[in-house]
Structure 1
């Protein structure tokens, strides 16, 4: 909005006063006086018209407008015409004085200044100004912000909201005045508009000042933005961690590797949107963390059990790789979401990457690093993130979501309403490998279906089923969270399929107190004959595996964004097995952490994990894992 228009806006009462005066010429009175009054302000207000070559001069525009028939031509003016010189001098001085009061927002007494201005009352539907502006809106189509062109029913408006609407009408009528016969402004409307401008001149002027400032900030951001379509986001953490205990849980009699290690993880997210309703994410990873586990994939045997693995223990040997690549898009909106948007309120239900709030149908195509827990709701919102959630791998969510981890595939979520959704998906961890027992459909895969019930902001429930298959040499039935037997119930070389059933729930007792939990049941099936620890396995043998957990979160404790959390549960345990190998005892998973948000971008996160009876064996010593993370997000 040009400074010329805002300067003109300050003397717009002059324009309408002059226009009314010109209307008097149709009655044959005070012609010479009116001509003198009109000449000076017209030269100021008609700059835009002159620049657009729509008229030779403003005097002709006003005189042509005033000679057109008007329903009020026979009526005497209801608003007195103020002499131009006096109006300009007095109103401009008054406006500048009040603008200085409004604009001094940084001063110590700025709040007092504002509250002492008696004009800062809301404009209610019963006020004359409200009805006057409504008539202008209906007659000239000034406001198109809402679909029905109204002020959203009969609610009261703040004076700044009202001034924004009045400014829109001023601009519309200015276009009519500076055009060549494109519209017609009645004398009564000019009178009403003059009175409105005089009443709200302070808000109009302050609005102009703020718009100029905003335009400057937008221009700066446009000059310095990373991309017009892509946002860059980053995560970095440094962790000092160590495992403590006597003997490892694998029966080797070796001591737990209890040296303190310092590791890091860096992730850069490139988030691109082409339509505003889609999202393309490319994530670059550089990690050097070694799992505190039994020693697999060339990793050292630290504790002899997967129960002690941390949430952030992936590694890339310090090299940069594409850790995640997916594209999400949605179609349509739910009726409830559309209504809530119109009412300018609503809530989210944690549908992850797969279901943007309000989308009727959403799709996710995972090219690299697909995870079901990110595509669908997992109902453990305070602990599910690798960087800022639980410190343990098991404590993040029901292990059912680890099936097909870091795979390639697709997912979709259909929202019947804000309260009910259906999600289905498919992931294959080795989809890019065309060799036997790999690829998109010939190797390991997981297919998921989930019903999510978001009963309110406070209560949610999920019912989940996963069908998974693991070729020999790729068996990880429990997502490397439970006992060794729970991960390979029939041995590493026996192809295994599994039916996983899970129920998850959350209950937000209060803004400062949230409970979540899950229970998972797995039925594993041997797909070929083989051996496990010298025991014969026959095709068709079955095993039953069970796990559960309860989490407690106290968000914003100590500072906004901070979190105190506790997790208690039983990692996956083989409760029945046709080959006779079962977990005889019960392990307990105990976890506590506190993430203290130092600033918006930096947090300190100490935490401790305790595994009682590791590997579901009372003869194994308790193992402790402690960590101190420093988390940077930008």
Structure 2
């Protein structure tokens, strides 16, 4: 109650002293706190720090995207950490008020205003007028009866204070008579307001007593997938692959906790039975090409609840974010791929928009696999961000050729440029990675991007492998209904003591926000999944000594995401692979995928 009344004290004390009621109704006075709306649900309640989710560079495009929230559970980072904001010369609007000593300090109040003398009297005689920090009064703002009633009650308290401090000479008899009359007229509203506030306090106390926690938010995501292979052979057996329609699903629960409002501890539990149509050499098509983005982990049995992510993020300085994770990958934690390709890849909490893994990320981001590590993001002014990450996919394994620093690792560095209005983004990425002999990660590979041809994911048995990867990515928002993104990546593989190889991929994507319906999203992408373009003559990866991929396989993908309310969306899509496994002798493959997502 005290917090609510204090919001009105200096404001409507002024109003109640006016000799003319019309002045009070049409020229309300601003207090030192923002005047609430008539709905008492806006009563100020002190809340604990909110959990911070995805506390990375803010990459939304407010002027260009749909009005509807595409990711409703996403929480804006506290302090807008490392926000790359548009450059502007406009003053920041601030609703807090400042005391004025003369009505001339209020720039929007002129001597010709009909209420000027009344306002001048309140300023100079009572000293209770407050204005906005931009030196305006905003006198045309409307006032509700509930607000006036509460302000009148606060004005009485102020009058009692003046009388008690022997300052009654400041209050004229006619002012007191006016206030008494107004108090009688508004007594029903005052009584009703007190009742509503008492009820609100009781409801608030009940919620606080039954809540799960004051600092943790639970975010849930469930998806159901209809899928089928419409055409294509297994590239290993050279026989037609089964064309069975499947119905599968998965669920993830994410707990986000903040301890001081500027940090975040995230824990993700997930499980499901979605199998990718393109996954491994032992899968349906015998190739990594066309690997879908929604599939469950292949290292755990279907419908097994697993710990999918453990991460802690905090601000080392106002412009420096540090992410420490026990289970994740550097590309996701540093927020590198999402900002460059926002319409095809969403946050880890909301899942991908694109159907395939390839449509989300270029080659340079896909060698990491999940594991422990650290990532650091550094803001360099308003339009640049530099990030580095170190991940060890087998860093939790104490056996030989594993561990945090003696096993498989990925070191990543990236510089991102944002235009002042965020409609253009450019990124340059470098990755150095190493895999000891005969080690297997969560993706089922020892080394490689886990998408693309079989050869680009192959290594020499008993030999460690090093790669240096280079990538350029770009995104341009043409207008509110069209965006273009693309990338090109180049990799140099070295099979230690044996020889070298080169890998490459590229893609161009078009996104159509609000296509046919507000909040909907259409997407089309064409590219070449990672392939081996060259191999040393003395190295055999399964196709013969010195044999790299001989043909070019194209990946064509299209999807349409339709929103049913804010928390349900249906996304049908197709993936067409030409010359699967970069071999033109293999017939094209075609996948159908219909994903329904429920968020809670």
* Equivalent position of 1:466 in the other structure: 431
Return the alpha-carbon distance in structure 2 between the equivalents of residues 134 and 368 of structure 1: 64
Measure how far apart 1:232 and its partner are.
Answer: 1.1
Task: Check 1:130–1:204 CA distance in 2 against 1; reply closer, same or farther (3 A cut).
Answer: farther
Q: Does 1:482 align with 2:466?
A: no
Q: Is the 8 A contact 1:595 1:605 kept in 2?
A: yes
Counterpart Cα distance in 1 of 2:432 and 2:180:
69
CA 1:270–1:213 in structure 2 vs 1: closer, same or farther (change >3 Å)? farther
1:239 match: 225
| Cα drift, residue 559 of structure 1 | 3.0
Match of 1:125 among 91, 109, 114: 109
1:94-493 → structure 2 map (5 Å cutoff): 124-126=108-110, 127=113, 150-154=132-136, 156=138, 158-160=140-142, 171=154, 174=157, 177-178=160-161, 187=170, 220=203, 223-224=206-207, 225-250=211-236, 252-293=237-278, 295=280, 300-315=282-297, 316=300, 317-333=302-318, 360-378=319-337, 379-385=340-346, 387-455=351-419, 456-474=421-439, 476-488=446-458, 490-493=459-462
- 2:573 matched to which residue of 1? 607
After superposing the two structures, state which structure 1 stretch, 469-478 or 186-195, moved more. Answer: 186-195
Q: CA deviation at 1:633?
A: 0.7
Query: What SS does the corresponding residue of 2:456 show, helix, strand or coil?
Result: helix
Aligned length: 494
Counterpart-to-counterpart distance in 1, 2:418 and 2:4: 53
Deviation at 1:261, TM superposition (A): 1.8
Give the superposition deviation at 1:611. 0.3
- 1:595-633 CA distance string (max 9 Å, x none): 111121111111110000111111111011111111111
Which residue of the partner structure matches residue 116 of structure 1? none
Inter-CA distance 191–462: structure 2 relative to 1 (3 Å threshold): farther
Aligned partners of 1:409 and 1:134: how far apart in 2?
64
Q: Distance in 2 between matches of 1:309 and 1:445?
A: 23
Could you say what secondary structure the match of 2:404 adopts? helix
Report the CA distance shift for 1:128/1:280 in structure 2 as closer, same or farther (over 3 A): farther
Q: Hey, what's the Cα distance between the residues in 2 that align with 1:202 and 1:559?
A: 51
2:487 — aligned with what?
518
Deviation at 1:332, TM superposition (A): 4.5
Query: Which structure has more RCO (C-alpha within 8 Å, separation ≥ 6)?
Result: 2
- Give SS of 2:344's match: coil
What residue is the counterpart of 1:21 in the other structure?
Answer: none
1:76-95 → structure 2 map (5 Å cutoff)? none
For 1:569, the equivalent position in structure 2 comes to: 527
Q: What is the Cα deviation at residue 494 of structure 1?
A: 2.5
Alignment of 1:38-53 (within 5 A): none
Within the candidate set 494, 497, 511, 2:466 is matched to 497
Q: Give the Cα–Cα distance (whole angstroms) in 2 for the partners of residues 15 and 505 of structure 1.
A: 56
Q: How far apart are 1:257 and its partner, in Å?
A: 2.8
Larger Rg: 1
Separation of aligned partners in 2, 1:197 and 1:486: 86
Q: Is the 8 A contact 1:143 1:168 kept in 2?
A: no
Separation in structure 2 between the aligned mates of residue 429 and residue 392 of structure 1, nearest angstrom:
22
Distance in 2 between the 1:165 and 1:520 partners? 64
* Gapped regions of structure 1 (runs ≥ 5): 18-78, 93-101, 104-121, 334-359, 530-537
Q: Kindly indicate which of the two structures has a greater share of residues assigned to helix.
A: 1
Distance 2:115 2:356 in 1: 62
Q: 1:584 aligns with which of 550, 555, 567?
A: 550
Residue 547 in 1 paired to residue 547 in 2? no
Equivalent residue for 1:74? none
Is 2:149–2:186's contact at 8 Å kept on the other side of the alignment? Answer: no
TM-score scaled by structure 1? 0.67
* Conservation of the 8 A alpha-carbon contact between 1:278 and 1:329: yes
Partner SS for 2:592: strand
Distance 1:260 1:168, change over 3 A: same
Which SS does the other structure have where 2:584 is aligned? coil
Quote the Cα distance in structure 2 between the aligned partners of 1:389 and 1:407.
24
Inter-CA distance 5–265: structure 2 relative to 1 (3 Å threshold): closer
- Tell me the SS of whatever aligns to 1:301: coil
Kindly state the Cα deviation for residue 227 of structure 1 after the two structures are TM-superposed: 2.1
3-state SS of paired residue (2:315): strand
Distance 2:285 2:191 in 1: 67
Shift of 1:309: 1.2
